[in-house]
Structure 1
Amino acid sequence: MKIVYAGAPAFSLPPLEKLLSAGHTVAAVLTQPDKPFGRKAQLTPTPLKAFAVQEGIPVLDFARVREHAAELSATGADLMVTCAYGQLLTREVLDAFPLGVYNIHASLLPRWRGASPIQHAILAGDAKTGVTVMKTDEGLDTGDVLLSRPLSLDGTETAGTLSQKLSALGGECIADALALLEKGEAPLTPQAGDATLCKKIKKEQCLLDFSRPAEELSRLVRAMNPQPLAWSLLRGAPVNFYYALPEEGEGAPGQIVRADKTGIYIAAGGGVLRVTELQFAGGKPVRAADAVNGRKVRAGDVFGA
């Protein structure tokens, strides 16, 4: 099939690669405009654009895609596939393609409609998540479902590791979805069940409150890795947390009750949070053992102050 593929972050790359390997023709890649990045504010393309340029695929990077339905129609594509594209589509854009627009969404819809389904699946302690391929309508992830596939969670995932798994699964799902469309065997099913919404993660959500249970804190740490990262204060300086799991134990909330090569154990409102990777102000991420050996932390220190 001839398609336009829309996306932006690294998450959107594996599905595109899967479609290319399946023999589909990509008439154009649709992505976001280059944005300033780094201390020098150098204009930087999205990961998807960088890949498309490397592969010689034409790139469209409209700031407001709703104003460019005619250009999309002119590609001659049968349909458009979107994956973490980041702009809502108007009826004019949806109608620019004979077969419509299909979205790869990183949850089992209607659970976790919105911008941060991967993080919210971890934050909620969900036992499973997955990928849904839906036919896009004018709502926010409200379209009819073409297919969905679950992925079990074991409570140790970070948003980064889960993103990689779901991106690969998304590639398999969209390849199978287009195969069904080619055969004319793609029945659509309205979303069933209660919908839950998830907004874009904000920095203020990432501050660790050690009066909360260790299980909840572990979810927050893992959900915010690799960005924007959960954090707390130690001796007045910010510390970022990369990985932590809950364990049994007790102590004054926020106090380090143990610090050795196995981890930095911080008492919480229920249980203890065992931190194994963290980052001190101005430094790189380090393992807990290195932080202890470098005397950056010790038993008795208190986070949150």
Structure 2
Amino acid sequence: MERGPERVLKVVFLGTSSFALPALKVLHDSNSVGLVVSRPDRPSGRGRKINRPPVAVLADQLGIPLLQPEKLRQIRDAVSEFSPDVMVSASYGGWLPEWFLSMAPLGVVNIHPSLLPAHRGAAPVIRTVLQGDTETGVCFMVTDKGWDTGDILQTIRYSLDGTETAGELEVKLADLAAKALPGVLKDYASGEIRPVPQSGMESYAEKVTSEEAVISWSLSSEEIVRAVLAFNPVPGARTMFHSKVLKIYRAEVSSFSGPPGVILETSPLVAGCGKGSVRLTEVQPQGKRVMSAEDYVRGYRIQRGAVLGEG
């Protein structure tokens, strides 16, 4: 296979969520993507409406051939016929078997939003925010048979200030990855960069459950604020209040102190924690829109002394 730097690589792109969109757009602009593979359309929400993956929607808009198999073996012939030089994956959400990894001479280059080997797994961005990391980044990894254990081609570091939501951080990391991707592929194909084994402290970012998003008011104010930021936008940090779910999307550490879960002030809206207190700034009452804490207090006549976390 030719590996000259001027050669346009033939790329198969695998992705599903919105994190992968900037990378797909960049590769499309370079005229290198000939095939997109995404997860099948799935029903979601209360109405079980069929939703298309964001990558599938974009592939259709860009006019790129799209495959959405239940099993990768269903597209083996199509990928083989395309004969890619390399495959690129970003938040695809499915296991890639060894036979599939070998279908391109340069393998599958995965875009992973953490500093590997830290936060391997399904929810690296949420776990980064929840843990209170001060630095994160994006790794370009040559996928192997393990879970995010492949050799690293390039790492891009990004400093955190502790105010980013997981949603905001994911957008930033996706953009950083997209800007670097063409250069990484070019240098990898030409031999300018070579894969190196991962090194450092390993950790695993397990998939988030809705139960984890229930706020424990016995935690410290710092821990609760991190949870609010980490679970924004999904699944949304939540607590019970007057027998209904109240989601909290923005919060910050406050200087007040008082019993855990008790509303200490209403202007601003402040609740006590196991240590310290938090100011709630953006909330969503059950069945209603996201609103400012000020609108919530005014519209729902919230009183001091009420207790969050109680039915």
Shorter-chain-normalised TM-score: which range? over 0.9
Say if 2:33 is the partner of 1:2. no
CA distance in 1: counterparts of 2:230 and 2:63, whole angstroms: 35
How far does the alpha carbon of each residue in 1:129-164 deviate from its partner, in whole angstroms, 9 at most, with x for none? 100000000100000000011111111010111111
Could you say which residue in structure 2 is the equivalent of 1:209? 216
CA distance in 2: counterparts of 1:57 and 1:302, whole angstroms: 53
1:259 CA drift (Å): 1.2
How far does the alpha carbon of each residue in 1:199-233 deviate from its partner, in whole angstroms, 9 at most, with x for none? 11001101101110010001111100111111001
Contact 1:277–1:287 (CA under 8 A) maintained in structure 2: yes
Alignment of 1:222-233 (within 5 A): 222-233=229-240
CA distance in 2: counterparts of 1:69 and 1:96, whole angstroms: 9
TM-score normalised by L of structure 2: 0.94
1:67 CA drift (Å): 5.0
CA distance in 2: counterparts of 1:248 and 1:197, whole angstroms: 34
Contact 1:232–1:239 (CA under 8 A) maintained in structure 2: yes
Could you say which residue in structure 1 is the equivalent of 2:25? 17
For residue 51 of structure 1, the aligned residue among 55, 58, 64 is 58
CA distance in 2: counterparts of 1:213 and 1:160, whole angstroms: 23
CA distance in 2: counterparts of 1:18 and 1:223, whole angstroms: 28
CA distance in 1: counterparts of 2:73 and 2:125, whole angstroms: 27
Contact 1:26–1:57 (CA under 8 A) maintained in structure 2: yes
Q: What amino acid is aligned across from residue 258 of structure 1 in structure 2?
A: E
Say if 2:272 is the partner of 1:272. no
**Number of residues of Structure 1 aligned to a counterpart in Structure 2:** 302
1:243 CA drift (Å): 0.7
CA distance in 1: counterparts of 2:50 and 2:102, whole angstroms: 32
Could you say which residue in structure 2 is the equivalent of 1:196? 203
Could you say which residue in structure 1 is the equivalent of 2:129? 122
1:248 CA drift (Å): 2.6
Could you say which residue in structure 1 is the equivalent of 2:5? none
1:295 CA drift (Å): 3.5
Could you say which residue in structure 1 is the equivalent of 2:255? 248
How far does the alpha carbon of each residue in 1:236-284 deviate from its partner, in whole angstroms, 9 at most, with x for none? 2110111111123310110011111xx3111101111111000111211
Q: What amino acid is aligned across from residue 296 of structure 2 in structure 1?
A: A
How far does the alpha carbon of each residue in 1:161-209 deviate from its partner, in whole angstroms, 9 at most, with x for none? 1111011011123222112124321211100012100111001101101
CA distance in 1: counterparts of 2:51 and 2:242, whole angstroms: 37
1:69 CA drift (Å): 3.1
CA distance in 1: counterparts of 2:300 and 2:19, whole angstroms: 38
For residue 291 of structure 1, the aligned residue among 289, 296, 299 is 296
CA distance in 1: counterparts of 2:303 and 2:14, whole angstroms: 49
Could you say which residue in structure 1 is the equivalent of 2:91? 84
Say if 2:194 is the partner of 1:187. yes
Q: What amino acid is aligned across from residue 38 of structure 2 in structure 1?
A: T
Alignment of 1:157-168 (within 5 A): 157-168=164-175
CA distance in 2: counterparts of 1:207 and 1:242, whole angstroms: 12
Contact 2:67–2:75 (CA under 8 A) maintained in structure 1: no
Secondary structure of 1:227's match?
coil
TM-score normalised by L of structure 1: 0.96
Q: What amino acid is aligned across from residue 96 of structure 1 in structure 2?
A: M
Could you say which residue in structure 2 is the equivalent of 1:148? 155
Q: What amino acid is aligned across from residue 30 of structure 1 in structure 2?
A: V
CA distance in 1: counterparts of 2:45 and 2:134, whole angstroms: 37
Q: What amino acid is aligned across from residue 80 of structure 1 in structure 2?
A: M
Matched-pair identity in %: 37
How far does the alpha carbon of each residue in 1:72-131 deviate from its partner, in whole angstroms, 9 at most, with x for none? 222121110000001111110001111111000000100000000000000100001100
Contact 2:87–2:104 (CA under 8 A) maintained in structure 1: yes
For residue 68 of structure 2, the aligned residue among 61, 86, 106 is 61
Deviates more, 1:106-115 or 1:243-252: 243-252
Contact 2:106–2:189 (CA under 8 A) maintained in structure 1: no
1:234 CA drift (Å): 1.0
